[in-house]
Structure 1
């Protein structure tokens, strides 16, 4: 599919994502990385750049880099080098950042995802792949606090030295929707393999978007980098605004100047923070305090053996093992917790497609409404399995099942042990009198009464009007107080009318 043009311009987007690694201590010191501590209480002598201190590499951070490389299909460098990235800022005690430059630990790789567009009959899904340039280890800077002080700024060095992986893409994305879909997929991957908690509000997953525009077939335009996008909503708003701004500038005869910009979610606008530096401005050189990072092939093999099943592989297995559509499989593997919930329910009830429908439908609707994860779902996987089993064996109708689900979600039912085994489902069905009619003779009598009482609908149905048949079904369901099996009602009515 060709790239969508905006006012005749092609949009070009590349990403740099800082994933804070889920290590207990910092990348070059033993200081804690716990979030929320009082300012400057988690900064060691190394983080403060006191004279005579030397950095020591955090082995777990390297392991996490290897994990990411394996998950992305990247090359993992057997030897990589740390470099000093020189710049001055008050929250950078050393006067340089320890990073990697020409020899990063993770090289190449790709992220694939589906981009959805349209709705209803016009809905479509297109597979997209974004190539990665590299992912390199580095130490985070501290944090400047501008809003908490009048006439001055505060410096909190708790974050200084926290382990980061900066993941850099090629400029492969062509719309804000594609950029957000990429970011969501990368976010899912780093949390799935357990290297990052993904908390965007706490700064654990920060995205910088490099945005430029050009006429089709022209060289790449001058880019502007939108820094520290910490929500998917802000990400799309910021990129859309930046695209419009750049096009307006070019159409008015102005040149785009390479710059770093910030997005203000209150105004919905970006503003220039500083002119954008190039690599030469940072005067990179190998850090003399750190030897080359050497990763043995045996270590990579050990990490590979401990890797969880990745989302794409799991989705493919769901299609093969459970016969699910690819859409279902992709949706159910948005998180390990959701995938595990589905597999527990599907395994217990033996109806994977019904389990998928309920997880993607009623369960997801409740979770979204209450803004909670599936780990906090108030209907357990075994309860859902028991409910689906009662739908499948004809004990209850779909409408009755929703009533039982509502009751379960609202805390009705048996004790905790019964809930864990799904035994409270049967108890609720019994207590609420929701069992479908099992007495065929009684149902046949109701059908006969409805036919006799509705000659007009009978005549219309025989004249070819399907709506009249649905009206008769509704009358039978009403007369049975909703306890008749709809499939059985359909069969009995057709048997008498056809």
Structure 2
């Protein structure tokens, strides 16, 4: 599939993503990494680079890197090396950042995703461990700046792609797929607002068949919405510069969400500018093959293979399967509800519909669902056996959500008893007597001769009106599908 062109130019995008690893302490010290603490309360002597301090590797940070490498099909280097990346910012106490350069821990791999129904793959160059810098603060300091070193030494995994992306839409789809992987395997909480998942986009344009153009790096994109806006603006700007006869200068730029524009921050450094050399305070990182295999065995089923299994095992549409595997909690909820009810498609509809709507309104995740999967399964059983119409089921769902006891329900019989009690208490039992339903339908037809005539004249809306009248007369207890079939039978006769 050929890449789309913008004004005759091909778009070339590569990504560098910093995922903050879900460890309790920093990568080379025991200082905590909790977000939101008072400035400089979570920085110890190692983080402050006081004389005589030495870094000690955090084993869990290494485990996170290995898990990621296994998840993306990369090579895990059994021996990797840490380097000093030299630059001088006020928020970098040592005057260098401990990172990896020539021999990273994760090498190669790929991330797959779908866009507009087409499968895409982005190749990864590497994923390496490094420490974060501190943060410069410029507000409320009476014209001066302050330095907060709480983040200094926070463990990061920097994930670098090949320049395989060809549009802002592809870039966002890749970033979302990567975000899903790191949160799914539990190595990063993915909170973009808190800086746990930060993306830098290297953007350039070229005429088809020409060498790669000069790239500009958009730093610290912390939302998918801003990511697409920033890339689109940068592409337009670069094309305008080239069309006006100007050369693109390599630079690091920032995106301003208020103006919707990127602006240059500094000229872009090359690797030589950082004067990398092996860190003499850290020995090579050696990983035993047995440890890699242990972590491989502990890795959960990944979202894309799980979605494919949902299609094969439960007969779900691909869209449903992809939606249900957005988080491990949602996937687990679906599987339990589907298995207990024997109604996988109905379970999918209710989870993606009513349940997700309630959670979105409350801005909560699946873990906070007030309705347990067995309660939903019981509701689905009663819908499937004709005991509840769809409208009545919504009322039962409302009652279950308002007075949740989902955690206390440990079996499907208990959940069915709870649902049946609500149906009886609210008088929501579906109208299942065929004779009673036919009597109601005949009365409606007799009382609505005009609608009957219009339907027989070919007006479909008249039929919908008749269905509505039957549902109203049955107080919503009739099954709409049975009402449709019965009315068509009577009108045909």
Q: Deviations over 1:129-166 (max 9, x none)?
A: 11100000111111111123122111111111111100
Residue 33 of structure 2 is matched in structure 1 by 33
Aligned: 1:158 with 2:150: yes
SS of 1:36's equivalent?
coil
CA shift, 1:4, in A, is 2.2
How many angstroms does 1:462 deviate by? Answer: 4.4
- Out of 286, 303, 312, the residue aligned to residue 278 of structure 2 is 286
Q: Identify the residue that residue 303 of structure 2 maps to in structure 1.
A: 311
Q: What SS does structure 1 have at the residue aligned with 2:379?
A: helix
Structure 2 Cα separation of the partners of residues 495 and 39 of structure 1: 75
Query: 1:239 aligned to 228, 231, 236, which one?
Result: 231
Per-residue deviation, residues 89-141 of structure 1 (Å, max 9, x unmatched):
1111111111111111000000001113xxxxxxxx11111110000011111
- Corresponding position of 1:446: 440
Q: String of CA shifts for 1:431-462, please: whole Å, max 9, x gaps.
A: 33222112222222222222333344444444
Structure 2 residue 489 is the aligned partner of structure 1 residue 495: yes
Report if the CA contact (8 A) 2:131-2:152 is conserved. yes
Per-residue deviation, residues 270-321 of structure 1 (Å, max 9, x unmatched): 1111000000000111111111111121111111111111111211221222
Kept after mapping to 1: 8 A contact 2:390/2:479:
no
- In the comparison of the two structures, how many residue pairs are matched? 489
Q: Which residue of 1 aligns with 2:315?
A: 323
- State how far apart, in whole Å, the 2-side matches of 1:372 and 1:110 are: 31
Alignment match, 1:361: 353
Q: Secondary structure at the match of 1:133?
A: strand
**What are the superposed Cα offsets for residues 195-219 of structure 1, whole Å, 9 maximum, x if unpaired?**
1111111111111111111222221
1:486 positional shift: 2.3
Contact 1:413/1:419 (<8 A) preserved: no
Greater mean deviation of Cα atoms: 54-63 or 470-479: 470-479
- Specify the alignment match of 1:141 in structure 2: 133
Please point out which of 119, 127, 143 is paired with 2:119.
127
Change (3 A) 1:418 1:311: closer
CA shift at 1:419, angstroms? 10
| Contact 1:43 1:158 (C-alpha < 8 Å) held by counterparts | yes
**What residue is the counterpart of 1:272 in the other structure?**
264
Q: Structure 1 residue 482 and structure 2 residue 486: aligned? A: no
Cα distance change of structure 1 residues 271 and 415 upon mapping to structure 2, 3 Å threshold: closer
**What residue is the counterpart of 2:62 in the other structure?**
62
CA RMSD of aligned residues (A): 1.9
Which residue in 2 is equivalent to 1:107? 107
Match of 1:42? 42
Greater CA drift, 307-316 or 165-174: 307-316
Residue correspondence of structure 1 range 74-473 to structure 2 within 5 A: 74-116=74-116, 125-409=117-401, 411-412=402-403, 417=408, 421-422=414-415, 423-473=417-467
Q: Distance in 2 between matches of 1:232 and 1:215?
A: 27
What secondary structure is seen at the aligned counterpart in 1 of 2:113? Answer: strand
Q: CA deviation at 1:361?
A: 1.7
Query: What TM-score, normalized to structure 1?
Result: 0.94
CA offset at residue 402 of structure 1? 2.1
Runs of 5+ consecutive residues of structure 1 not aligned to the other structure: 117-124
Unpaired runs of 5+ residues, structure 2, are none
TM-score (norm 2): 0.95
Alpha-carbon offset, residue 465 of structure 1 = 4.7
Q: Which deviates more from structure 2 when the two are superposed, residues 275-284 or residues 171-180? A: 171-180
Q: Is the 8 A contact 1:355 1:385 kept in 2?
A: yes
Partners of 1:383 and 1:419 within 8 A in 2: no
Once structures 1 and 2 are overlaid, which stretch shifts more, 156-165 or 447-456? 447-456
1:367 aligns to what SS in structure 2? helix
For residues 188-242 of structure 1, give each alpha carbon's deviation from its aligned partner in whole angstroms, at most 9, with x where no partner exists. Answer: 1111111111111111111111111122222111111011111111111111111
- Counterpart-to-counterpart distance in 2, 1:412 and 1:48: 52
Checking the alignment, whether the CA contact within 8 Å between 2:386 and 2:432 is kept in structure 1 is no
